[in-house]
Structure 1
Amino acid sequence: MTGTYEDGDPLTGELDLEDRRALRRVAGLSTELTDVTEVEYRALRLERVVLVGVWTEGTAEMAENSLRELALLAETAGSQVLEGLVQRRTRPDPATYIGSGKAAELRDIVISTGADTVICDGELAPSQLRHLEETVQVKVIDRTALILDIFAQHAKSREGKAQVELAQLNYLLPRLRGWGGNLSRQVGGRAAGGVGIGGRGPGETKIELDRRRIRTRMAKLRRQIEGMSKARDTKRGERRRHQVPAVAIAGYTNAGKSSLLNRLTGAGVLVENALFATLDPTVRRTETPGGRVHTLADTVGFVRHLPHQLVEAFRSTLEEVSDAGLILHVVDGSDPDPESQIDAVREVLREIGADHIPEIIVINKADAADELALTRLQLREPHSVVVSARTGSGIERLREAIEADLPRLERELRVLLPYDRGDLVARVHERGEVLKQDHVAEGTVMHARVPDTLANELERYEDLAPTTG
């Protein structure tokens, strides 16, 4: 995506894109470790990398696709990918991830290619990371650390930076080793400061100090994020009060969500052909062809095996999705395996409690996709629209589909909700318009307008409401 439409007008955010490209990592600076025990105390500087994955299930094509995606992630982080290796195993080796023999072979490949980093296609336990580094003698990182590094590069807002830092610290905490290998971990007598035999040495003290600092920093970040999320909650509450339906654009990273938002609203957000180009949610107001006002929110992209730390840290941002009345689930129709992208996104939607929200599958990049692949996707996902955000093809059909699926406050009813159904009272306030509310001995009497889906659940309490006199 070039960042301009056919009329040649540059999109807002073009300067951001130029600025991001202006300072890239300088190739050729060696990051080979002289002491592998200090790896966690060094900033990630990815340069010339070798990728390695373990194929435990599925087809060989799926394993290769996963490694291709890892290569895209590495390139997005500013690396040059030299080699990609996949090993067939029933499960990853508990000691070195790929086995001691294969680790020695990997060391030979690292030497012959001149690589300074190995990236593993999975999340490694701290012990696996340590043992593999000791064998290959260069920096080893896993898929989770790589994704966190990309998020750190792309975070722009205060909230985005705080969320990424929280996720990084959460990941780092169990992996702290520090310089303990070079220091006495256990000393006795006076050297232990009066603790006596078995007292902690300077190595252990250093690690404990770092852990305490990290936990303190994490607590501060959580407070900051909570404070910043209140502003977004206020805006969402304001939209609910004015009965403005919310539509969230969700989907796989680099599926074209920002391009779609630009095409639907003219928002002019940053568009880049890179993974995780969008981290900060953008909310824009727009109208359907019939004149119904609604909001569209562009959100952070998902990916296979999205680190749990990120889902937790970005939970306040992802609430734009879980609070929406409709989800536009964007999928890259030109991807070799779009079905697995859909499954990965739905897995994250389940994790954030958004799997019950109605969705429209938006099959994007139709201009670059194979016709057979598009037909296969449409058969798998009947409630879908094929579009091209780049050319504008199918956009009008998508607008019509949005209008048809927007939640409507079509039912007005009067119900008596027992006091043990406070969850329903909360949902009426959240998703409906409360006209009147009273409290009686039997429960809460509510006169409200609500969407059909919620009205179906409330019908059983309609007859219980006292008649007005």
Structure 2
Amino acid sequence: MVERALLVRLYFDAREQDESASLLVELGELVSTLGIGIADSVLAKSREMHKKFLCGTGKAAEIVELAHAHECDVIVIDNNLAPSQQREWEKLANLCVIDREEVILDIFAKRAHTKEARLQVELARMQYALPRLARMWGHLDRESAGSGGGGSGGASRGMGEKQIEVDRRLAHLSIDRCKRELEIVRKQRKTQRKEREKFETPHGSIVGYTNAGKSTLLNQLSGSDVMAKDMLFATLDTTTRRIELPDGQPLLITDTVGFVRNLPHRLVEAFKATLEESVLSDFLIHVLDATSPEIEIFHATTLKVLEELGALDKPIITVLNKIDLVTDSETLASLDCVFPDAIRASAFKGEGMDDILKACSHVLADRVTRCHYRIPQKRGDLLNLLHQDAKVLSTDYEANDILVSAVVPANIAGRLDDFRIEA
């Protein structure tokens, strides 16, 4: 367990200074999420990118000296480090050195609860650790003359096989196993979606930057109690709830894992089984934190990940969440200018929920029609059809006929046209 961390962000162009400072602050939030104390933060500029430490040897020595002065037991570098660079930093500092990707992987490992999420985390961690095995174990260069009689058969070594080769082989086996099991999960999800599609229930996904308030929004819309906390990556497992829209149409709505800048590509790949809910939805609800100074960057980051997933062509409802915390009129005016079609909302206070539900109804308007029918009582089959596949709003009786008002999906509307009347 590490307790005190020195945070470091290196940048190589003066134009990157502001963004790098913002990323360093975000790294602090990520590290704090792991329960590690932060002793100090360093934003350092290097004139060029060096192969050994990313920065020059003198700058690296200054950073290490500062870490020792603060009695840190870990240096967290926001830049992605190659395995060789990580080894050089640890050799210089004689401390544990990790990068942004390893921090995110550790958070995911702590938060994953379902079998699917644990598999996805294990896959990503094994892919990350594979080129770093030599760093992790000092004994891995030892050879063995043969497999011998003891130990596990899976770890048996051939003539002259090094321990590092055994570990790499086992890591590859673990990666293959995770991929096979994740493929089974994807097939199970596909079966579940086919069951949903039998009833043609529309499906929306809540997406957005981490800690934007997606889970809180789902709770408000559905009356559920999904875990919602003011922390990064509080949600790693998708949760789907069924709600009813103002026009009576049912809707399945899913809370998804949040995005983050510089999200490691291997995590996008590993979490496709979870994130594909975004790809397969009818539309997306993009939640933005209105209080964030980097809201435009967060907006662009989410759209970029959605583009990678092939989900950017879907209708998107943009929601400015936490709007109740924005009191400056200039900031509000700027938000309206940048996001003119966005819905103002406060998921915590429940403000703007009606507007979001109406927007969902508008996106799905072509899927249903509000109709009025006069159905003879002897046509009970049609009444059963309405109750089974539509949303019946009211039923009255007049002579031998039944007067029905209902929200009717397009797939059954044609079978009822002969009985349709004006309101």
Same fold per superposition (TM over 0.5)? yes
The answer (yes or no) to whether the contact 1:248–1:296 under 8 Å persists in 2 is yes
**Deviation per residue, 1:203-242 (Å, 9 max, x gap):** x711111111011011111111111222222222222221
Counterpart-to-counterpart distance in 2, 1:396 and 1:274: 26
Counterpart for residue 403 of structure 2 = none
Shift in Å, 1:97: 2.0
Shift in Å, 1:362: 0.8
* Mapping 1:5-16, distance limit 5 Å: none
- Structure with the bigger RCO (C-alpha within 8 Å, sep 6+) is 1
Counterpart for residue 376 of structure 2 = none
Counterpart-to-counterpart distance in 2, 1:180 and 1:286: 52
Counterpart-to-counterpart distance in 1, 2:248 and 2:318: 23
Counterpart for residue 363 of structure 2 = 405
Give the counterpart of 1:108 among 65, 69, 91. Answer: 65
Q: Does residue 387 in structure 1 map to residue 345 in structure 2?
A: yes
Counterpart for residue 46 of structure 1 = 2
Q: Which amino acid aligns with 1:295?
A: L
The answer (yes or no) to whether the contact 1:366–1:387 under 8 Å persists in 2 is yes
Q: Does residue 209 in structure 1 map to residue 171 in structure 2?
A: no
The answer (yes or no) to whether the contact 1:249–1:327 under 8 Å persists in 2 is yes
Counterpart-to-counterpart distance in 2, 1:289 and 1:143: 44
The answer (yes or no) to whether the contact 1:95–1:131 under 8 Å persists in 2 is yes
The answer (yes or no) to whether the contact 1:46–1:77 under 8 Å persists in 2 is no
The answer (yes or no) to whether the contact 2:141–2:163 under 8 Å persists in 1 is no
Counterpart-to-counterpart distance in 1, 2:170 and 2:73: 30
**Deviation per residue, 1:346-390 (Å, 9 max, x gap):** 111011111111111111111222443333233222221110011
* Structure 1 residues 244 and 56: alpha-carbon distance in aligned structure 2, compared to 1, 3 A threshold: farther
**Structure 1 SS opposite 2:242:** strand
Counterpart-to-counterpart distance in 1, 2:66 and 2:18: 23
Q: Which amino acid aligns with 2:2?
A: L
Q: Does residue 56 in structure 1 map to residue 4 in structure 2?
A: no
* Mapping 1:332-411, distance limit 5 Å: 332-369=289-326, 370-406=328-364, 408-409=366-367
The answer (yes or no) to whether the contact 1:97–1:128 under 8 Å persists in 2 is yes
Counterpart-to-counterpart distance in 1, 2:288 and 2:2: 29
Counterpart for residue 169 of structure 1 = 126
Counterpart for residue 65 of structure 1 = 22
Q: Which amino acid aligns with 2:325?
A: A
Counterpart for residue 126 of structure 1 = 83
* Structure 1 residues 179 and 359: alpha-carbon distance in aligned structure 2, compared to 1, 3 A threshold: closer
Counterpart-to-counterpart distance in 2, 1:184 and 1:238: 53
Counterpart-to-counterpart distance in 2, 1:95 and 1:178: 15
**Deviation per residue, 1:6-36 (Å, 9 max, x gap):** xxxxxxxxxxxxxxxxxxxxxxxxxxxxxxx
Counterpart-to-counterpart distance in 1, 2:319 and 2:127: 34
The answer (yes or no) to whether the contact 1:178–1:207 under 8 Å persists in 2 is no
**Deviation per residue, 1:386-416 (Å, 9 max, x gap):** 10011112221111112111263479xxxxx
- Unaligned stretches of 5+ residues in structure 1: 1-44, 194-199, 412-448, 451-469
Number of residues of Structure 1 aligned to a counterpart in Structure 2: 358
Shift in Å, 1:98: 2.5
Q: Which amino acid aligns with 1:315?
A: K
The answer (yes or no) to whether the contact 2:186–2:273 under 8 Å persists in 1 is yes
The answer (yes or no) to whether the contact 1:178–1:206 under 8 Å persists in 2 is no
**Structure 2 SS opposite 1:297:** strand
Counterpart-to-counterpart distance in 1, 2:27 and 2:145: 47
* Mapping 1:178-257, distance limit 5 Å: 205-257=162-214
The answer (yes or no) to whether the contact 1:250–1:329 under 8 Å persists in 2 is yes
Q: Does residue 261 in structure 1 map to residue 183 in structure 2?
A: no
**Structure 1 SS opposite 2:247:** coil
Counterpart-to-counterpart distance in 2, 1:305 and 1:169: 19
Q: Which amino acid aligns with 2:337?
A: L
Q: Does residue 137 in structure 1 map to residue 94 in structure 2?
A: yes
Counterpart-to-counterpart distance in 2, 1:249 and 1:339: 18
Q: Which amino acid aligns with 2:210?
A: T
- Unaligned stretches of 5+ residues in structure 2: 147-157, 370-409, 412-423
**Deviation per residue, 1:435-454 (Å, 9 max, x gap):** xxxxxxxxxxxxxx79xxxx
* Structure 1 residues 367 and 46: alpha-carbon distance in aligned structure 2, compared to 1, 3 A threshold: farther
* Structure 1 residues 232 and 64: alpha-carbon distance in aligned structure 2, compared to 1, 3 A threshold: same
Counterpart for residue 37 of structure 2 = 80
Counterpart for residue 56 of structure 2 = 99
**Structure 2 SS opposite 1:119:** strand
* Structure 1 residues 53 and 240: alpha-carbon distance in aligned structure 2, compared to 1, 3 A threshold: same
Give the counterpart of 2:273 among 311, 316, 322. Answer: 316
Counterpart-to-counterpart distance in 2, 1:53 and 1:392: 38
**Deviation per residue, 1:54-94 (Å, 9 max, x gap):** 12354533221110000000000111011111112355422
Q: Which amino acid aligns with 2:43?
A: V
**Structure 1 SS opposite 2:92:** helix
Counterpart for residue 377 of structure 2 = none
Give the counterpart of 2:257 among 284, 300, 307. Answer: 300
Q: Which amino acid aligns with 1:213?
A: L
Displaced runs of 4 or more, over 6 A: none
The answer (yes or no) to whether the contact 1:245–1:407 under 8 Å persists in 2 is no
Shift in Å, 1:46: 3.5
**Structure 1 SS opposite 2:162:** helix
The answer (yes or no) to whether the contact 2:205–2:254 under 8 Å persists in 1 is yes
When the two chains are superposed, the root-mean-square deviation of aligned CA atoms in Å is 2.2
Give the counterpart of 2:237 among 272, 277, 280. Answer: 280
**Deviation per residue, 1:417-462 (Å, 9 max, x gap):** xxxxxxxxxxxxxxxxxxxxxxxxxxxxxxxx79xxxxxxxxxxxx
TM-score by length of 1: 0.72
* Larger-Rg structure: 2
